[in-house]
Amino acid sequence: NSKNSQAARIGLAAEQSIDAVADFGLSALSIDKFRRSGSGHARIDPEMETQPRTPQIIFMSPQRLMVPLFQRPYVWNQELQWEPLWNDVVRITERYMGDSAVKQQPHFLGAVVVQQTLNPLGSLQMRSVIDGQQRLTTLQLMIDAVHAQLVLGGSTQSARRLEALVLNDEAFCESDADRHKVWPTNKDRAAFNEVMVAPIPVEYENLAHRSSRLTQAHRFFSESAGVWLRLNGDDEISERGAALERSIRDHLQIVVIDLAADEDAQEIFETLNARGTPLTAADLIKNFVFQRLTDAGEDVEAIYESFWSEFETAFWETEVNSGRTKYPRSAMFLNHWLDARTREEVLAREVFIRFKRYVDFEREGPVAALVAELHRAAHVYRRLIEATTRLTGPLDRSELFAYRTSVMESEVIKPLLLTLLDPEQESIPHDQLTKALDVVESWMVRRMIVRATSKNYNQTVADMIARLHKQDRTKAGDTLEAFLREQRTAVGYWPDDHEVAQQLSNERVYKRLSRGRLRMILEAIEDRRRGWPSASMGFSERVMRGTYNIEHVMPVSWEKHWPLPQTVADFDRNQMIHTLGNLTLLTARLNTKVSNGQWAGANGKRAALVEHDVLKLNRTFIDGFHEDWTDTDIEARTATLTDELLAVWPVPEGHRSEQHAAPTKTHRKVEVLDLLSAGLIEPNTALIPRAKAARDRTVIVLGDGSIDVDGILFKTPSGAAGHIRGGPTNGWRYFRVQLSPRITLSDLWHDYVELEDIDTDSDDAGDDVGTE
């Protein structure tokens, strides 16, 4: 039918252009239908161009790319889009600076769809942006921000070359709006125009639209570019600026689907966003590998059955999260394996292209041997993953490492594990392997506790792998310890005992750490009290993993049965109850009455802890504290547990971290617009008030993040909830996204905070209570 025909035309053109239709999310079925439909030649409508283009080609000609009024406003943000884009630009620029003579591999940013617009002869060429307006708008903001920094740094020629990509020559302009290459939807135009024409240096705080996402994006790229250009001092600004400008112009690529004026844009849009079965990196690699095996005359059937068929079982086809995106486990494994083999960070969308380059130019030996190597590595990978799901029983050191890092949701560490356990290389002695895992785990846990960012772990892990390959493999533990001790930057340093202890002395870990991470810390302390890691299985088992309940010893609702001493303020106690010393593990959850009840007595909290005790972690309460449990006791136990934690995850003797930085996570307020940008909620989602009496109200999330209540717009969920209830209300907890299972806006808020590794102004969603 018409849609399949268009999918086929787009699919083949995309595949020819970038060797990876997976970047489009196109239906594999549609592409396969086209491949089996006849001659095999590209049947691309001559009126519809589909090809990869650089920003230089896309933006150089005088034109206006108009975002139609029906498109949603600009929603991209720093964590999800601006920062990853900037990191990509820096990565390809530094790669170019490393060897500018070598042909650079283009970095693909996805696809956009534009449609020609009929306009009078001789006037400025115009196209409507059907899909990809967020990407095109962000590129314009980034290019203009970098241009401003090049001007400030005196890189005049480089600045002029970028200026031509954001502004049309005055000779082609009949109005001020014609100056812009991209013209956003009406709601964003004032902010976009203001920041794009602002005098250099841009005084962002003085702009009328300083709180707009567009202005914030421009500021982010400007500040990031300014720091990077001056990284090695002012003397290198010109050289670095020229490399940055060249990379932005020529080393980024977007596949542009350019429709004729009479082409059905809606059908193309629906095809690109169809919910088919996308081709994954594993699919593309499989096709590539078996084509090579066929060309080499190998017995492909036998190789498939022996080494590849396993990848098409339920275990490997299960989708797993990596950041905010889900991938089949087989694709994740191939990404991690490639990271380990190339000793560099390989982005998920570049796995297939990088795999081809590795096989064609870097690896020696037949492809059949490569498939066998993948098979052996996959068995190691699977063993580690399956170990993370075993709640009881013994784990070897690598399996325990896999469990704890999985709780920390750190997929990025798996390439290092594959390197250490690589069956194709010499085995690392047991003591050195244990040391390697100990020091890396210590580095990760300590950074988690002090709330240091984990955003650059991909590159740090790649650097660890590269260091291991340069040094004696039999001394891997010593090598990684030395590497981590060398780290001095906020994104890589290894926190020392003083910093961790200082952080934990008053840190509300129950609020700041996820339940899984906090439970893992308490489990590790329990294991230590049971004699691990030196205990034998005949003497003591490890604690059951991922199962026990976290209990506040002094309850959160303390007011009725736990009077305050004159020396303690309400605020201090409310802080204290969430610290490490007031938390423990229990085999079963206590009922609310007992949990919030008094301490002493046959039916008190202490008696309940004794009754449910099977853990050495609770021996303190059995042996003592018969009469009361006080704020001073909490403080003392925090210090004790901190000492044990530092012993579980030690640093080398004498190690001092020079950083002692404040938390380096992004610190800001999370808005509904962030949930939209992350895809956690869709525009036009209906929200359900918590009160049944209000269920007849129509509450809709709009594309700009505002909330529509019966036709009245509110900027925040709490403004909307307050309007319904007639008083200040936490709208994040008041509104549900679905009833069964119950999911609230607050749940999505927490998902976003956890997913993007950011720090907020509050422990919970709801800072906007009472605001409109």
Q: What is the pLDDT of residues 170-189, one digit of tens each?
A: 888 888 888 899 999 888 99
Distance from chain centroid for Cα 333: 17
The helix/strand/coil state of 64 is: strand
Query: Residue 579 burial by CB count (10 A; 0-12/13-18/19+): exposed, middle or buried?
Result: buried
Give the span between the Cα atoms of 500 and 484, in whole angstroms: 16
* Spatial distance between the Cα atoms of 762 and 669, rounded to a whole number of angstroms: 8
Q: 743 pLDDT band (50/70/90 cuts)? A: confident
pLDDT for 534: 66
Distance between CA atoms of residues 86 and 78, nearest Å: 10
Q: What percent of the chain has pLDDT over 70?
A: 85
Residue 667 has pLDDT above 80, yes or no: no
Which residue has 């707009």 as its token pair?
Answer: 212
Question: Average model confidence (pLDDT) for the chain?
Answer: 83
Q: How far apart are CA 201 and CA 222, in angstroms?
A: 10
Task: Report the distance separating Cα 730 and Cα 683, nearest Å.
Answer: 21
Range among 43-47, 206-210, 594-598 rated most confident: 206-210
Mean pLDDT on 42-63: 70
pLDDT at 12: 37
Cα distances from 500 to residues 162, 404, 460, 497, in angstroms, run 46, 18, 21, 5
pLDDT at 320: 84
Query: Considering only CA atoms, which of 259, 222, 276 is closest in space to residue 86?
Result: 222
How far is it, in rounded angstroms, from Cα 276 to Cα 27?
4
Which range, of 333-347, 538-552, 566-580, 677-691, averages the lowest pLDDT? 538-552
* 483-492, long-range: CB < 8 A, 24+ apart: 484/439, 484/440, 484/443, 485/652, 485/655, 487/460, 488/658, 488/659, 489/659, 490/452, 490/453, 490/659, 490/661, 490/664, 491/452, 491/453, 491/455, 491/456, 491/460, 491/664, 492/456, 492/460
Question: Degrees (nearest 5) of the Cα angle 655, 661, 666?
Answer: 135
User: Residues 722-729: what's their mean pLDDT?
Assistant: 91
Mean pLDDT throughout 698-712? Answer: 90
Q: Kindly report which listed range (1-15, 350-364, 620-634) carries the lowest average pLDDT score.
A: 1-15
Where residue 116 falls among pLDDT bands split at 50, 70, 90? confident
Length of the chain: 772
Q: What is the pLDDT of residue 641?
A: 96
At residue 34 the predicted structure's pLDDT band, cuts being 50, 70 and 90, is very low
Domain boundaries, the chain: 1-48+263-279, 61-262, 281-498, 499-648, 672-756
Pairing of strands 182-183, 63-66: parallel
- Asked if pLDDT for residue 201 goes beyond 70, the answer is yes
Q: Which residue has the higher pLDDT, 13 or 399?
A: 399
CA distances (Å), origin 716, targets 671, 693, 727: 8, 21, 14
CA-to-CA distance for 221 and 146, rounded, in angstroms? 7
Compute CA distances 319 → 187, 309, 310, 406, 519, whole Å.
37, 18, 16, 15, 25
Q: How far apart are CA 730 and CA 597, in angstroms?
A: 28
Q: Which parts of 572-718 are beta strand (E)? A: 583-586, 688-689, 699-701, 707-709, 712-714
The helix (H) or strand (E) run that includes residue 735 is: strand 735-738
Average pLDDT rounded to a whole number, residues 41-68:
72
Task: Please give the residue that has the higher pLDDT: either 528 or 750.
Answer: 528
3-state class (DSSP) for residue 593: helix
Q: Which residues contact 458 (CB under 8 A, 6 or more apart)?
A: 339, 345, 412
Inter-residue contact 109 to 253 (CB < 8 Å): yes
CB-side exposure of 651: number of CA atoms within 13 Å? 23
Q: Which two tokens stand for residue 227?
A: 């720091």
pLDDT at 6 over 70: no
CA distance 446 to 522: 14
Exposed (0-12), middle (13-18) or buried (19+): which is 34, by Cβ within 10 Å?
buried
- Vertex 169: Cα angle to 167 and 171 (nearest 5): 150
Q: Collapsing DSSP states into helix, strand and coil, what is residue 167? A: strand
Residue range 558-576: mean pLDDT, rounded: 86
pLDDT reported for residue 10: 41
Residue 269 pLDDT: 58
Among 399-408, 526-535, 582-591, 665-674, the range with the most confident prediction by mean pLDDT is 399-408
Tell me the torsion sign for CA atoms 738, 739, 745, 748: negative
Contact partners, residue 295, CB within 8 Å, separation at least 6? none
What pLDDT shows up at residue 682? Answer: 87
pLDDT band, residue 16 (cuts 50/70/90)? very low
CB atoms within 10 A of CB 628: 12
Q: Check pLDDT > 80 for residue 761.
A: no
**Cβ contacts of residue 624 below 8 Å, gap of 6+?**
none
Better-scored residue on pLDDT, 33 or 347: 347
Q: What is the pLDDT of residue 576?
A: 92
pLDDT at 424 over 90: yes
Asked if residue 141 has pLDDT above 70, the reply is yes
What is the CB-side half-sphere exposure of residue 438 using CA atoms within 13 A?
19
Amino acid at 214: L
| 545 or 36: which leads in pLDDT | 545
Using alpha carbons, select from 271, 274, 225 the residue that is nearest to residue 248. Answer: 225
What pLDDT, in 10s, does the model give residues 581-624? 999 998 888 777 778 788 888 888 888 877 766 788 888 777 77
Q: Name the amino acid, one letter, at 236.
A: E
Q: Which of 742, 729, 733, 740 is nearest to 769 (CA)?
A: 729
Whether residue 677 contacts residue 217, with contact meaning beta carbons closer than 8 Å, is answered with no
Confidence of residue 374 (pLDDT cuts 50, 70, 90): very high
Is residue 23 scored above 80 in pLDDT?
A: no
Predicted confidence at residue 635, as pLDDT, reads 94
Residue 485 confidence (pLDDT) above 80: yes
Q: What is the pLDDT of residue 175?
A: 82
Confidence of residue 17 (pLDDT cuts 50, 70, 90): very low
**Are 336 and 418 contacting, i.e. CB atoms less than 8 angstroms apart?**
yes
- pLDDT at residue 329, as a whole number: 92
Handedness of CA 136, 141, 142, 147 (dihedral sign): positive
Q: Is the pLDDT of residue 275 over 50?
A: no
Q: Is the pLDDT of residue 35 over 50?
A: no
Q: For residue 73, what pLDDT is reported?
A: 85
Query: What confidence score (pLDDT) does residue 567 get?
Result: 84
Confidence of residue 663 (pLDDT cuts 50, 70, 90): very low
Residue 194, pLDDT score: 95
C-beta of residue 319 within 8 angstroms of C-beta of residue 329: yes
DSSP 197: S
- Contact indicator for 453, 491 with CB cutoff of 8 Å: yes
* pLDDT, greater one: 41 or 294: 294
144: Cβ contacts below 8 Å, ≥ 6 apart? 162, 166, 195, 196, 218
Taking the CA atoms of the chain, what radius of gyration do you get in angstroms?
Answer: 29
Question: Comparing C-alpha atoms, which of 467, 391, 400, 385 is closest to residue 437?
Answer: 400
Contact status, residue 124 vs residue 172, Cβ threshold 8 Å: yes
Give me the half-sphere count of Cα atoms (radius 13 Å) on the Cβ side of residue 71.
Answer: 24
CA count, 13 A, side-chain hemisphere, 668: 11
- What backbone torsions phi and psi does residue 688 show, to the nearest 5 degrees? -115, 115
Average pLDDT for residues 737-753, to the nearest whole number?
81
Q: What is the pLDDT of residue 257?
A: 83
First to last CA, the chain: 49
